[in-house]
Amino acid sequence: MAISQTNFAWATLLEIGSPEPGRPHRLRDHLVRALRTAIRDGRLTEGAAVPPSRALAEELGCSRWAVTEAYGQLIAEGYLTARVGSATRVSWSPDTTPPYPRAHPAPAPPPVRYDLAPGLPDLRAFPRRRWADAVRAVTGSAVHYDLGLPDPAGHPGVRTTVAQYLRRSRGADARAETVTVCAGVTDGLLRTCRALRAEGIADLAVEHPGWGRLRDAATSAGLRPHPVPVDHDGLRVDDLVRTPARAVIVGAAHQFPTGTVLSPARRARLVRWARDVNGYVIEDDYDAEFRYDHHPVAVMQGMDPRRVFLLGSVSKTLSPALGLGWLVAPAALTQALAAANPVAAAPPVLDQLALATFIDRGWYDAHLRAARRRFRTRRDLLIRTLGAQLPEARAAGTAAGLHILLHLPDDTDTHATVRAAATAGLRLADLDDYRVQHSADRALVLGYGNITDPEIPPAVALLRGALATRTPKAERPA
């Protein structure tokens, strides 16, 4: 019910009992909250006059000061207006139009017991103690101007550390001036695409199958994505040259989701193509730290730093929750990159500094060495277990990264398999989820980052059960 000045007791409305003597500030704050709430929920309607301060103070048995202060606060907030010679009135009303119809909340997914979907590193192995040490160290040692406005391209000292790391460990051609510290590969791609758009490039070739978020990043920067097939040697350059694209994003070290490595011949061809079309290759250095059959292959960017952008992040090595990555741009384009991204924000400076400390103290290398050993063993175990329990399936993909492809018999309904597995608490991903056109090839993308070794046999047993509940295509109604 709306209330007018005459028909109700203000003390009741404002839920104020006997004020405590000598606590006028407390009473003022209470009055502000109570009047604000009464206006917001519509009990005090727009235009209604509030009592003169003297009258309300008398009714409440408090000082007039508390009431005039409270009115003054609500006038400043826009809930009341005061005019000379007239009563102070309510000047705001809540929106009474019916709220948007609520979307029915999606049913909660069944709890996950085992995670064989790709996308996560071993979250249990996050180096909490050393990361906390790095955060503590930089919080104590950061100079005061590090706490001022951040450099949008990243903290200069962190860019130096990242450039050194990329030169030493990835064979990149990187200098502090060409490195941007960003929130990850997706953010780096978004920034790169905006810069390419400003350079007059409107079309970007993307791998097919591929990670949809990269396509989405390109589209949101105004580029048209052109899917180009991937075969056992990586991106098919013969198909690329037939597109109107002058730029391509490619996972050279370990393509997601096929798990192929770009062959040496294709690497060279791709860079030559970029020169021929006066275009660019964007190298997504995804999974590159994890190669199990030999030493990680150096980045393509080193072959021609004027034509190749390099993107990387710690999402697969430490955790995607950190939101830290890097972008190395051709030197001639660093200004264009900054100009095309005027409102891009760098990740929090203390987090950047923690990463630099983590790298400088040798903790990142140590973490990667341990992770490599752990993932090599886990990959072998997964492939052995699959071979023993699912002889009709075929595991594929280079001995690298955090995922494999599992090819299944042609009559497998992979969608039904993923659904049946989810009901049993096993998370899986269908290769079809990474395609823009469906294909006859039935396969799952199995990630082994976020599962423990002892969980692998029961997870594969659940997968076998989910495959057994599938409806072979031949038996499905037409």
Ligand X SMILES: Cc1ncc(COP(=O)(O)O)c(C=O)c1O
Crossing angle for the helix pair 53-60 and 64-77, to the nearest 10 degrees: 120
In angstroms, the CA 50 to CA 44 distance is 9
In angstroms, the CA 230 to CA 441 distance is 13
* Nearer residue to ligand X within complex by CB, 150 or 320: 320
Q: How far is the CB of 251 from ligand X (least distance, A)?
A: 5
Crossing angle for the helix pair 349-360 and 128-141, to the nearest 10 degrees: 120
Q: By CB under 6 A, how many residues form the interface with ligand X?
A: 13
Q: Which long-range contacts (CB under 8 A, 24 or more apart) does 336-339 make?
A: 336/195, 336/198, 336/199, 337/180, 337/191, 337/192, 337/195, 338/152, 338/153, 339/195, 339/198
Indicate the residue whose CB is closest to ligand X. 184
* Nearer residue to ligand X within complex by CB, 184 or 330: 184
* Window 196-235: residues binding ligand X (CB under 6 A): 211
Among 66, 80, 185, 402, binds ligand X (CB under 6 A): 185
- In the three-class reduction of DSSP (H, G, I as helix; E, B as strand; rest coil), residue 323 is classed as coil
Among 53, 88, 160, 186, binds ligand X (CB under 6 A): 186
* Window 234-263: residues binding ligand X (CB under 6 A): 251, 256
- In the three-class reduction of DSSP (H, G, I as helix; E, B as strand; rest coil), residue 309 is classed as strand
* Window 16-45: residues binding ligand X (CB under 6 A): none
Asked whether the bond before 257 is cis by omega within 30 degrees of 0, the reply is yes
Q: Does position 315 bind ligand X by CB under 6 A? A: yes
Return the structure tokens found at 460. Answer: 């594969």
Q: Does position 448 bind ligand X by CB under 6 A? A: no
Q: How far is the CB of 28 from ligand X (least distance, A)?
A: 50
Phi-psi region of 397 (alpha: psi -120 to 50; beta: other; left: phi over 0): left
In angstroms, the CA 78 to CA 90 distance is 9
Contacts of 380 (CB under 8 A, 6+ apart): none
* Nearer residue to ligand X within complex by CB, 182 or 466: 182
Which span sits near ligand X by CB under 6 A: 147-155, 183-191, 407-415, 417-425? 183-191
Which span sits near ligand X by CB under 6 A: 9-17, 31-39, 160-168, 313-321? 313-321
Q: How far is the CB of 373 from ligand X (least distance, A)?
A: 22
* Window 90-119: residues binding ligand X (CB under 6 A): 119
Q: Does position 184 bind ligand X by CB under 6 A? A: yes
Please list, residue by residue across 100-137, b when 16 or more beta carbons sit within 10 angstroms of its beta carbon and e when fewer do.
eeeeeeeeeeeeeebbbbbbbbbeebebeebbebbbee
* Nearer residue to ligand X within complex by CB, 256 or 280: 256
Q: Does position 313 bind ligand X by CB under 6 A? A: yes
* Nearer residue to ligand X within complex by CB, 71 or 286: 286
* Nearer residue to ligand X within complex by CB, 115 or 284: 284
Which span sits near ligand X by CB under 6 A: 12-20, 156-164, 184-192, 259-267? 184-192
- Residue 148 burial (C-beta neighbours within 10 Å; 0-12, 13-18, 19+): exposed
Q: How far is the CB of 366 from ligand X (least distance, A)?
A: 22
Using CB under 6 A as the criterion, what x/- string covers residues 52-81 for binding ligand X?
------------------------------
* Nearer residue to ligand X within complex by CB, 70 or 359: 359
Q: How far is the CB of 110 from ligand X (least distance, A)?
A: 23
Return the structure tokens found at 409. Answer: 């018999």
Which span sits near ligand X by CB under 6 A: 164-172, 182-190, 262-270, 376-384? 182-190
In angstroms, the CA 114 to CA 124 distance is 14
Among 209, 225, 234, 325, binds ligand X (CB under 6 A): 325
Which span sits near ligand X by CB under 6 A: 48-56, 181-189, 267-275, 337-345? 181-189
Among 79, 286, 309, 326, binds ligand X (CB under 6 A): 286
Q: How far is the CB of 134 from ligand X (least distance, A)?
A: 19
Look at the alpha carbons of 145, 150, 155, 156 in this order and tell me if their dihedral is positive or negative: negative
Q: Which long-range contacts (CB under 8 A, 24 or more apart) does 65-68 make?
A: 65/24, 65/28, 66/19, 66/24, 66/25, 66/27, 66/28, 66/31, 67/28, 67/31
Among 320, 425, 457, 465, binds ligand X (CB under 6 A): 320
CA distance between the termini of the chain: 62
CA torsion 297-300-305-307 (nearest 10°) is -170
Which span sits near ligand X by CB under 6 A: 153-161, 179-187, 273-281, 295-303? 179-187
Which stretches of the chain bind ligand X, using CB under 6 A? 119, 184-186, 211, 251, 256, 284, 286, 313, 315, 320, 325
